[in-house]
Chains A and B, each alone.
Chain A
């Protein structure tokens, strides 16, 4: 009986809290709390001793060391990863979108292609880590990615191209441009897996009746794409943009992330590592907020 007296808004509020509570608790305990903790730790020097962990308050010491004393942090780590982001981010977003549109067509072997484009996601999170101690395997795999002096694969291809270009006596800059372009294409293709998946899921929630209606009105495929597919998928473009930023900035093959790991766990200076992470986090956060502020105005939602 009591239930009936509540207004709709109150009911909604109650249901809302009730449904979210399990996740909120988990999130606060295992994501939010550690994040705050690491912020506090970034103002300390942390060292392990016989009596457990010893924390010494440093105030801004860690940050000062990073920004003003240790020149290589900003120059060799921060700026290059921002540059990488600026180039790869639009490329990945656009590339994965067009692949997803293609894979959403009805054609034979579609599942096969979907699997292939998803492979890098499986591979990057599993195998590369698995075999990182195995020198031979590492050489073989990195030879393919062209990042080390292994044999074969893409690096072999780029070597051949380099030789060829040298025979033609073209300028040095062209050679570096071509080889870095090939490397970059590899980067982009292999880090588009999740984005393609998200786009595909988004494309599949578009009601086919929209396309039916527009074909009856005589719209061409091109018009369909820009007037239906594009606006309907725009929320997913936003999602992917966020995911791509997070992925590029937080990925294991990001040098800055490796450095954070090394400082925190190999050298054991956890406070310093946290400070590194936090400067980085503030910058990405700023980039993300700016982007969200601009982009969310352009996103189309059916109900608004």
Chain B
């Protein structure tokens, strides 16, 4: 009785202190966040504003950054008209990008996670050598390797197929690197407990490891989604029917100076999907954050 009373007193004291602190603290915090956010949001705000500008306002100098006098949706209408004009039906481009993005992302996340698990928690020969190679491979930019990669694709007969884009995305080293570092943090005790309780290797992986590193694989998903969605043109694809949405929209946007408004509309359309994906995944991360597995 007495103990619980004291506990309640302590809780309320704690809560009070938190409120006091957060009043001064959150003012500073918000100011700082807003200043920094202004830097990153400006290009996007500008793009959005430009997308709604009529032609005559596009030519103002200096351009107005955050305001538009007579907002119009003409740019969007023009965009759809241009889309309808394309030789390959536009839905085909959309399908290509959606297919490449989701297939590449899912396979990458699954294989990278499966590979990261033993690299973090098991012993097998060549493990450290392999991880060392992955770390070093992070530093290679795609330009240096694109020519040999093309030769590989040509030898496999994959040039001008979806495979040429999707399969290399699976082996991207950054996802594995991230995943392994996160799994390293899972206490061995949890895995041992699962084993003692009779779970098979696959069950341990699927039911214990995967939920523990949910923030990690959601992060990799964002990573991979973003990269694949924005894939504009690939060295390995020539047929018009296999080209991606950003490529097709890029063609529309690059139709000369008069299409500045349209190109802003295009940009907005393309950006909105990864941003929505990010919002969706982020809210998922927040939900699961308090469900970590171990009580010491």
User: What residues of chain A have their CB less than 8 Å away from a CB belonging to chain B?
Assistant: 9, 11-13, 15-17, 19-20, 22-24, 26-27, 29-35, 37-38, 41, 46, 99, 102-103, 105, 107, 111, 113-123, 125-127, 129-131, 133-137, 140-141, 143-145, 151-154, 156, 185-186, 189-190, 193-194, 197-198, 200-202, 204-209, 215, 221, 235-236, 238-239, 242-243, 245-246, 249-250, 257, 260-261, 264-265, 270, 273-274, 277-278, 281, 284-285, 288, 292, 301-303
Contact = CB atoms under 8 A, between A and B. Distances in A.
A281 B41 CA distance: 33
Contacts of B198: none
Nearest to B41: A116
A156 B40 contact: no
Contacts, number: 313
Contact of B254 (A134, A208, A245): A134
Contact of A16 (B43, B127, B144, B259): B127
Looking at A46, A103, A141, A204, the one whose CB has the most chain B CB atoms below 10 A away is A204
A117 B40 contact: yes
Contact of B178 (A41, A117, A130, A198): A198
B246 A38 contact: no
Contacts of B39: 154, 185-186, 189-190
Contact of A152 (B62, B170, B250, B275): B62
Nearest to B137: A31
Nearest 10 CB-CB pairings of A with B = A26-B171, A16-B118, A37-B148, A23-B115, A34-B145, A151-B62, A16-B122, A201-B215, A34-B148, A16-B124
7 contacts: A12-B124, A17-B124, A136-B257, A198-B219, A204-B286, A265-B143, A292-B135
A246 B219 contact: no
Interface residues of B, number: 114
Interface stretch (B74-82, B84-92, B184-192): B184-192
Given A122-B278, A153-B65, A23 B226 contact: no
B151 A37 contact: yes
Given A41-B148, A152-B62, A246 B218 contact: no
A154 B124 contact: no
A130 B140 contact: no
Contact of B145 (A16, A38, A102, A245): A38
